[in-house]
Amino acid sequence: MNIATKEIIDTYQVRDLRKFAQKNDLELVIPGDDQLQIDIDCSEDLETFNRHLLIFQEKFPGAIFTVTKSRSKLEGKHITITVPGKKFSVVERIAYQAALGSDRKRELLSLFDWDSGRKLPTVFFEKPLGCHWCGQTPCRVNCPVPTAKSLL
């Protein structure tokens, strides 16, 4: 077993992503055909994202951005980019994500996953946000406002 194969096994440890998410009290976020998922782990990644974003926006001026906090890194961010009318192939998605500063190890492993037949090489696992009123997930006291994701 080479290091790359070991990394794939160590990173995912489970084939059923939904079961993994449920077991770990996480939300599985699968990108739509028109979406990219950028995993920003540090300030250098964010600088790369900001520099390359201008080029990306020239090609896709109607792109819509959603940002959530990463579950695992203090300064991390999950950026979802939606490009209405665009259908990204899996390899295109991985390439754009890497070019925009997404965690390069994650993107390399995603290519390995795709090459080995995994259907969903790109997903986010996110912590569900609690009720904005009581802070619990799910809301246990029937607060008037439903749980919603907030932007940074």
**Per-residue confidence in pLDDT tens, the chain, 152 aa:** 444 543 444 454 445 778 888 888 788 888 999 999 999 988 899 999 999 999 999 999 999 998 888 776 667 888 999 999 999 999 999 999 999 999 999 899 999 988 888 877 888 888 776 554 455 555 455 544 333 333 33
Domain locations along the chain: 3-126
pTM over 0.85: no
Total number of residues shown for the chain: 152
DSSP state letters, 36-81? EEEEE-SHHHHHHHHHHHHHHHHH-TT-EEEEEE-SS-TT-EEEEE
* Amino acid letter, residue 51: R
